[in-house]
Chain A
Amino acid sequence: QQQVRQSPQSLTVWEGETAILNCSYEDSTFNYFPWYQQFPGEGPALLISISSVSDKKEDGRFTIFFNKREKKLSLHITDSQPGDSATYFCAASSYQGGRALIFGTGTTVSVSP
């Protein structure tokens, strides 16, 4: 079963708007949640991450909001730019020594100028 779910599958916003990407998980042992950004034909790159002891993490125009009780988190991209057009993956980890990250299904964001 899919342990990390993302919605929507795709999202289109206008330049300057805020894009909101949602993520939920099932395993309560997950305690680290990175978001990766992937452009077509390239490998994913770490964008921003949060641990389960925090409820918010901000880095420039990218902010993660985390709700541990509901096992949900979201990535907000404010003042969206055309260069932000990419697929964003939410991932989760419980530090199980080498079993690395469980990735979500991804959200493809298109920013129209």
Chain B
Amino acid sequence: AQTIHQWPVAEIKAVGSPLSLGCTIKGKSSPNLYWYWQATGGTLQQLFYSITVGQVESVVQLNLSASRPKDDQFILSTEKLLLSHSGFYLCAWSLRDRGPERLFFGHGTKLSVL
């Protein structure tokens, strides 16, 4: 069975500090991977997607970057956090042969920037 694990579960960080969030997918080879951001009570905004190792496409510029160092790992990071980065970060995967049809989300990371 496929599992998706996000870490950490929650973070409280200071403005201007660095950030690294991670996501690991087990049980599925070469999935499409996605990062979404959700403001409290808001919609889900796609940030990045990756269809293969080392290749990441940006959808929205929010002073964040993403990398895919391994087939099953997706990292979201920034060197300087802004207050506007607060929210809920969700990693998701989909089956490559099915395209974007079915997204499976992780449990998310709640980020509070103070």
Contact = CB atoms under 8 A, between A and B. Distances in A.
A70 interface: no
Interface class of chain B by DSSP: strand
Indicate the member of B34, B59, B101, B110 with the most A CB atoms within 10 Å: B101
Contact of A45 (B34, B49, B59, B105): B105
B108 interface: yes
A104 B45 CA distance: 10
B44 A98 contact: no
A32 B51 CA distance: 20
A89 B88 CA distance: 15
Given A89-B44, A100-B49, A100-B94, A43 B106 contact: yes
Given A43-B107, A43-B108, A46-B103, A98 B51 contact: yes
A42 B49 contact: no
B108 A32 contact: no
Question: What is the size category of the interface that chain B forms with chain A?
Answer: 20 to 34
B18 interface: no
A105 B43 contact: yes
Contacts of B57: 98
Given A98-B100, A100-B100, A105-B43, A44 B32 contact: no
A101 B110 CA distance: 21
Nearest to B90: A43
22 contacts: A32-B100, A43-B92, A43-B108, A44-B44, A44-B90, A46-B103, A49-B101, A89-B44, A93-B101, A97-B99, A98-B49, A99-B46, A100-B49, A100-B92, A100-B100, A100-B103, A101-B103, A102-B46, A103-B45, A104-B43, A105-B43, A106-B43
Interface of B: 32, 34, 42-46, 49, 51, 57, 59, 90, 92, 94, 99-108, 110
